[in-house]
Amino acid sequence: MPTSRKPIISGNWKMNLNHFEAIQTVQKLHYSIPKEVFDKVDVSVHPPFTDIRSVQTVIEADDLDLLLGAQHCHWDDKGAFTGEISPAFLAKLDVKLVVCGHSERRDLFGETDEMVNKKVHAIFKHGMTPIMCCGESLDEREAGETEAKVLTQVAAGLAKLQADQVASMVIAYEPIWAIGTGKTATADDAQAVCKAIRGAVGAQFGSDVAAAVRIQYGGSVKAGTTVELMAQPDVDGALVGGASLDPDEFSRIVQFAAD
């Protein structure tokens, strides 16, 4: 990737680690990443909601270089939405990045492109950065529909955004068949789709925006696959699930991304 885009590695813990475990994990993670690495790569952790306050306190008290993230939010500030999470409340907790449109949210909890777009707007409204996910299923890939699916999701997710917002956000390409399965897209496949996403962003928002937007790959990323992925010109980082639960492995991923 060009040096103008700072790599970003994000750990999506999903529904794992209670708040005690979360505190230990962030402390161990921070300790195992050499300080100077944080100048070269942004690192975010996305704990479950019940952990966020505890993790925020540790990050603040120990002055850790980790960016606090969330995995999801609602688009309204408040109201009668039992069980939902207000983006305004996340911002109050100093959350910097919010994942939205993860395929697990889309497939298991019925999130549509339209809902994802509303969330992206809400995340920006509260001064946070969206990590907007997109990706194709195995059937779609085998039918040769990868680009069509991904670019439709991206266009819908970016609807009615300002160019400077798009330039500042993160898009995560996560082929659904590679998430939690141990199967990774080849670095060439990841590059091809990330390049197509950047091209679509450029066509809609201009080449400066395309050059600035950061695109992550996600799906069974491990330390062993990071170097090749990060060598791709359009891959600017990784959204890491399973491997982010192990501070040693996640730290290696971060350090490889910084090299």
Active site residues: 102, 174
Which of 1, 7, 12, 41 touches ligand PGA (CB under 6 A)? 12
End-to-end CA distance of the chain: 11
| Residue 210 vs 235, nearer CB to ligand PGA | 235
- Of residues 171, 225, 234, 243, the one with CA closest to residue 12: 243
| Residue spans of beta strands (DSSP E) within the chain | 8-12, 42-46, 67-70, 97-100, 129-134, 170-173, 214-218, 237-240
| Residue 165 vs 226, nearer CB to ligand PGA | 226
Q: Is 64 exposed, middle or buried (0-12, 13-18, 19+ CB in 10 A)?
A: buried
Contact pattern for ligand PGA over residues 183 through 222, marking x by CB under 6 A: -----------------------------------xxxx-
Site for ligand PGA in 116-175 (CB under 6 A): 174
- Of residues 77, 86, 79, the one with CA closest to residue 49: 86
Applying CB under 6 A, what is the total number of residues that bind ligand PGA?
13
Tokens of 208: 């400066």
Which of 47, 157, 242, 247 touches ligand PGA (CB under 6 A)? 242
Which of 58, 97, 150, 240 touches ligand PGA (CB under 6 A)? 240
The residues binding ligand PGA (CB under 6 A) are 12, 174, 179-180, 218-221, 239-243
